[in-house]
Amino acid sequence: MRRLLLSLTVGLLALAFSSTAGADTKTVQITNAGFVPTTTTVALGDTISWHNAGTVNHQVVADDGSFASPVLKPGATYTATFSKAGTTAYHDALHKALKGTVVVNGPPASLSLDARSQAVTFGSSTVLTGSISSNQSGQTVTLMAQEAGDSSASQADQTTTSAGGTFRFAVSPTIRTTYSVLWQDAKSSPMTISVRPRLGIGLRGRFFRVRATSDHSYAGHFVVVQRRRVNGFSWFGVKRVFLGASSQALVHVGLPHGRWLVRIAMPASQAGTGYLAGLSRVVAVRHR
């Protein structure tokens, strides 16, 4: 019976310990003579509480500006949570001879970046997702973008992390664009989203109107009209069509009798720098 009670007691203690495990809080006393202790070591996600145990006002300020307390009257407390590994010196802004140091142990900051789709059609969007290594919410992450032809990246967007340290950005690149995300002093691996020109085809009487759209003008470029029988499997090129000043053209396509599917294709050589080859939607035609 005593052994059973002992086992139950140990189990309850273990449960209690596991329920309180996790982020810790350490206290630094601010005396008239200085900070006690002078150096405080914590883990990522831990909190430090500075308590004014002196008889005069004090103000805790990080040398790099990463945290700063209001003026603390005797008996007042200021807390800060640390989500970045490294060493930060701080001082008392009201008594500058008083100095201290915070050491945060943990792996260096890192973050991931992924894309729902790595190729989009001009005018469409995709979603970039990722997470930060601390798994904390409320952290600021910055999206950088570098378009094809640009010499450097620029800030495109900014957001804060959700539960678990996750984040998302909706992007609509108009030309091949390389994205990366910044958090603290970490930078993600680059993610390149390719873009296809938007190709359109529509039937107007006995003619097809074809067009191509992107950041480029396609005047003088060509698309290839392709056809396939409704119940067939292979596409066949019918003719090249050179586009006019408005990146459009009106073309007659001779089709044998039967039911056909028609589309246009633009090879990468015609799509231009920063673009993939493209395909239009399919138009069903019945020729008698």
**What is the sign, positive or negative, of the torsion defined by CA atoms of 127, 131, 135, 141?**
negative
Return the closest-CA partner of residue 208 out of 198, 200, 219: 200
Q: What is the CATH number of domain 20-105?
A: 2.60.40.420
Strands 191-196 and 222-229: unpaired
Return the closest-CA partner of residue 156 out of 169, 166, 138: 169
> Which residues belong to CATH 2.60.40.10 in the chain?
197-287
Indicate the burial class of 192 (C-beta count within 10 angstroms; 0-12, 13-18, 19 or more): middle
Return the higher-pLDDT residue of 188 and 8: 188
Instruction: Please give the mean pLDDT across all residues of the chain.
Output: 90
What fold is seen in the domain 197-287? Immunoglobulin-like (2.60.40)
Letter string b/e over residues 8-37, b meaning 16 or more CB atoms within 10 A of that residue's CB: eeeeeeeeeeeeeeeeeeeebebeeebbee
Task: Give the pLDDT band of residue 8 (cuts 50, 70, 90).
Answer: very low
Return the higher-pLDDT residue of 176 and 9: 176
Instruction: Give the tokens for residue 97.
Output: 């001879």
Instruction: Give the tokens for residue 72.
Output: 């603390």
Which residue type, as a one-letter code, is found at position 102?
V
pLDDT > 90? residue 30: yes
- What's the chain's Rg over C-alpha atoms? 32
The CATH number corresponding to 114-195 among 2.160.20, 1.10.3470, 2.60.40, 2.50.20 equals 2.60.40
The strands making up 60-62's β-sheet, listed across from edge to edge, are 39-43, 95-105, 86-92, 60-62
The strands making up 47-52's β-sheet, listed across from edge to edge, are 34-36, 25-31, 47-52, 77-81
pLDDT > 60? residue 20: no
Q: Which residue has the tokens 């883990």?
A: 43
> Which residues belong to CATH 2.60.40.420 in the chain?
20-105
Q: Model's pTM, two decimal places?
A: 0.70
Return the closest-CA partner of residue 79 out of 56, 102, 97, 55: 102
**What is the sign, positive or negative, of the torsion defined by CA atoms of 89, 93, 95, 96?**
positive
Q: How far apart are CA 85 and CA 44, in angstroms?
A: 6
The percent of residues above 90 in pLDDT, for the chain, comes to 78
